[in-house]
Amino acid sequence: MSNPPVEDFATDFDHTDPRWVADPYPIWDDLRERCPVAHTNRYGGAWLPTRHADVTAIAHDTDHFTSRTVVVGNGRPTEEAPPAPIGVAPPITSDPPFHSHARRLLQPVFAPARVDALEPYVRELCGRLLDPFVGSSSIDASLDFAEHIPVAVISKMLGFPEEDGEIFRGFVHEILEAVDLPQEERFERFAPIEEYFVARIEEHQADPQDDLTTFLLNAEIGGQPLAPEHVFGSMVLLIVAGIDTTWSALGASIWHLAQHPEDLERLIAEPTLLPVAIEEFLRAYAPVTMARLVIEDLDFEGCPMRKDDWVLLSFPAANRDPEVFEDADKVIIDRAVNRHAAFGLGIHRCLGSNLARMELRVALEEWLARFGSFTLSNPEAVEWSQGQVRGPRVLPITLG
């Protein structure tokens, strides 16, 4: 099912439009010049800031913009979803002051030292995925490689079987990509997800483990154990937030290198440049766009925003703003000054950013150690995801 084609992105934008899905950058660059806060009547009314300054201002303004739901859809969450400040998936759907409690709980789990301890596992996993392709002439960098990494890592952290990855990817699709379905149908699709998690929670209650699920079950806020909806919501969030995003960032990095042999050669010759290059891939191909809802009518930069209007908070568009980034439209793998917002801005800064960076670095190191030269098999065959997380879902690569 698809929406009618967009007439003018300034007044009728739609992030599921095939032109946006194929190549959103010219659309945002045009809007930034001509109409920096675009509007659409679709989805019951939504706004799209494309300047870094406006994205920053809205991300920081939790008094006027709520995170109650962060995925734009046709309905509004008011009746079905637990109200702010907790929301369905704390902390991402929480507002202050509850947000900081829900976030603080998870912060130690994703702090650098804890993440570093997972590096050997990620390296072994990447080797296991890539070794069968050494000596072959092709691989799908998305289907055979990138999509398997974050899902295995978060399963391991939560203490779920590694082979359940396939199930999670289905969940993520249901939640993130099915934005143009009616609200009711989306809720129906949620039932098997709930069933799966409740089963894992019950297993862990009966037999506690040294993992993130047991950690959440034992966690307390203000001396009280977390509400069951909170535990469930946070688990769903970790699955949804960690999988598509990292998979997309890794896929986009490989997609870039497959088309830029000069960058590929340089990274192989100068491996210490890789972390700098990763920041540039994150800037230029930032995968994640979030949403906010307007809390009450307000005037933002001359735009009459109304209560319950969506704001599509495009960190990817902010990252292409020439006011903040020199040669914003060029991918410069040794860009030294790079204040990018790929992991968001303000209180919801991606909790998994240390983990995602480690996964990206290790995955690219292991890929480059095996494949010194590669190209896109067929640029036309690359398929990009639709929705608020952007990345290549099909990425056939010719090796050698």
Partner 1 sequence: MRVVIDSEKCQGHGRCFALAPELFESDDLGQGLVIGDGQVAPGQAQAAHLAEQNCPEYAISLVE
Residues found near partner 1 in the complex (CB under 8 A): 104, 107-108, 110-113, 275, 279, 336-341, 343, 345-347, 349, 353-354, 357
Closer residue to partner 1, CB minimum distance, 171 or 281: 281
Q: Report the nearest approach of partner 1 to the CB of residue 167 (Å).
A: 29
Closer residue to partner 1, CB minimum distance, 306 or 349: 349
Task: Return the one option of partner 1, ligand HEM, none that residue 385 interacts with (CB less than 5 to 8 A, by type).
Answer: none
Residue nearest to ligand HEM as judged by C-beta position:
352
Indicate which single residue of 141, 154, 277, 317 sits in contact with ligand HEM (rule: CB under 6 A): 154
Q: Can residue 355 be called a binding residue for ligand HEM (CB under 6 A)?
A: yes
Task: Return the one option of partner 1, ligand HEM, none that residue 112 interacts with (CB less than 5 to 8 A, by type).
Answer: partner 1
- Binding footprint of ligand HEM, residue count (CB under 6 A): 28
Q: Can residue 314 be called a binding residue for ligand HEM (CB under 6 A)?
A: no
Q: Report the nearest approach of ligand HEM to the CB of residue 357 (Å).
A: 8
Q: Report the nearest approach of ligand HEM to the CB of residue 346 (Å).
A: 7
Task: Read off φ and ψ for residue 224, nearest 5 degrees.
Answer: -105, 135
Q: Which two tokens stand for residue 157?
A: 């952290």
Q: Can residue 356 be called a binding residue for ligand HEM (CB under 6 A)?
A: yes
Residue pair 316/27 in contact by the 8 Å Cβ criterion: no
Q: What are 53-56's contacts with CB under 8 Å, separation 24+?
A: 53/321, 53/323, 54/300, 54/301, 55/313, 55/314, 55/315, 55/317, 55/318, 55/341, 55/345, 56/318, 56/341, 56/345, 56/346
Task: Return the one option of partner 1, ligand HEM, none that residue 237 interacts with (CB less than 5 to 8 A, by type).
Answer: ligand HEM
Q: Can residue 73 be called a binding residue for ligand HEM (CB under 6 A)?
A: no
Closer residue to ligand HEM, CB minimum distance, 10 or 284: 284
Closer residue to ligand HEM, CB minimum distance, 70 or 303: 70
Task: Return the one option of ligand HEM, partner 1, none that residue 338 interacts with (CB less than 5 to 8 A, by type).
Answer: partner 1
Residue pair 136/397 in contact by the 8 Å Cβ criterion: no
Q: Distance (Å, rounded) from C-alpha 108 to C-alpha 114? A: 8
Q: What are 139-142's contacts with CB under 8 Å, separation 24+?
A: 139/371, 139/396, 139/397, 139/399, 140/394, 140/395, 140/396, 140/397, 141/251, 141/254, 141/255, 141/258, 141/367, 141/392, 141/395, 141/396, 141/397, 142/247, 142/251, 142/391, 142/392, 142/393, 142/394, 142/395
Q: Report the nearest approach of ligand HEM to the CB of residue 242 (Å).
A: 3
Q: Distance (Å, rounded) from C-alpha 205 to C-alpha 218? A: 10
Contact residues for ligand HEM (CB under 6 A)? Answer: 59, 67, 70, 91-92, 103, 150, 154, 237-238, 241-242, 245-246, 249, 287-288, 290, 315, 342-344, 348, 350-352, 355-356
